[in-house]
Amino acid sequence: MRIKLHIVLLTTALVTALTFNSCHNTGKHRVLKLAHGLDPTHPVHKAMVYMAERVKFHSKGKMEIQIYPSGQLGSEQQCVELLQIGSLAITKVSAAVMESFTENYQVLGLPYIFRSKQHSFNVLDGDIGKELLGSTEQFNIRGLCFYDAGARSFYTINKPIYTPDDLKGLKIRVMKSQTAMELVKAMGGSPTPISWGELYTALQSGVVDGAENNPPSFYTSHHYEVCKYYSLNEHTMVPDVLIISTVVWNKLTGQEKEWLQKAADESVIEERKLWAESEKESLEKVKEAGVTIIHPDKKPFAEKVQPMLNSYRDKPNLWRLITAIKEVKD
């Protein structure tokens, strides 16, 4: 039944996307379709709106990005599938999703790989970030930029997390990412992959005992209505990635590519400002709603996952990236 439902949803999204046409040139201006699953209040959506404004500015109205938020054209995975065949121009995904295309993206999901927020920015804005953005073109996907998605931390229904030992016996929702599953296992929890759209119900019904995510996502998803403990152990800083179909990208002129990339780069700066504001506001809002905010010692969590990091020595390319990231200055 679930397979049939998925096919129906995908077919509907495909027909919709084809009807709209992901990329077309009216003779006067180029129109690109961008779809994602975020709420319009989310800082990443606002950053994409800003990008659309900058594209219009740089092109003097010759290029336009039309945005469809809140899963209007399908789930995150469906949008990626539509993008790969050129029926959708642009979408936003978590970097964790990109692991299914190339193992190199796993490095961004490793626990405590970044020493600070600025360290992560320096890595993503530099040669390592550029390498990753261009590493999926064989799958018809090209990265445009990385967006700050904050630090992911554990939130639970009725058991506070002060140390990794507190995770024992708890079912923790994770993204469909091998790295995320290994991380939770290393800390003693039981990783349970569940789609983002189904998580609220899973928490409410007790299918899982908690999850892990950044403050704005915890707040905008209303998960704080069910989970009353938020432990800011900040185990990962997995960014979001704005991706474009190479089917569409290759149709653009050199000038159009320049307009789009410049607007994307400018939106990164705007998104980081919006994210910082949203993160602060979100923590204030969930605290007002009765959530207990915990600031645990991060050292025991980092020590617990060290064997996991050491295991990557057996993967030469990933170990090369890990070493290179450590060498990047804060």
3-state secondary structure the chain: CHHHHHHHHHHHHHHHHHHHCCEEECCCCEEEEEECCCCCCCHHHHHHHHHHHHHHHHHCCCEEEEEECCCCCCCHHHHHHHHHCCCCCEEEEEHHHHHHCCHHHHHHHCCCCCCCHHHHHHHHHCHHHHHHHCCCHHHCEEEEEEECCCCEEEEECCCCCCCHHHHCCCEEEECCCHHHHHHHHHCCCEEEECCHHHHHHHHHHCCCCEEEECHHHHHHCCHHHCCCEEEEEEEECCCEEEEEEHHHHCCCCHHHHHHHHHHHHHHHHHHHHHHHHHHHHHHHHHHHCCCEEECCCCHHHHHHCHHHHHHHHHCHHHHHHHHHHHHCCC
pLDDT for res 75 = 86
pLDDT for res 41 = 87
- Chunked into runs of 10 residues, the chain (330 residues) has average pLDDT values of 42 46 71 94 94 98 97 91 97 92 93 96 98 97 97 97 97 90 95 92 98 93 97 96 98 98 98 97 98 97 94 94 96
pLDDT for res 13 = 46
pLDDT for res 179 = 87
Topology of the domain comprising 2-102+136-148+239-280: D-Maltodextrin-Binding Protein; domain 2 (3.40.190)
pLDDT for res 6 = 45
pLDDT for res 21 = 64
Assigned architecture for domain 152-237+281-325 = 3-Layer(aba) Sandwich (3.40)
pLDDT for res 16 = 47
- Domains of the chain: which residue ranges? 2-102+136-148+239-280, 152-237+281-325
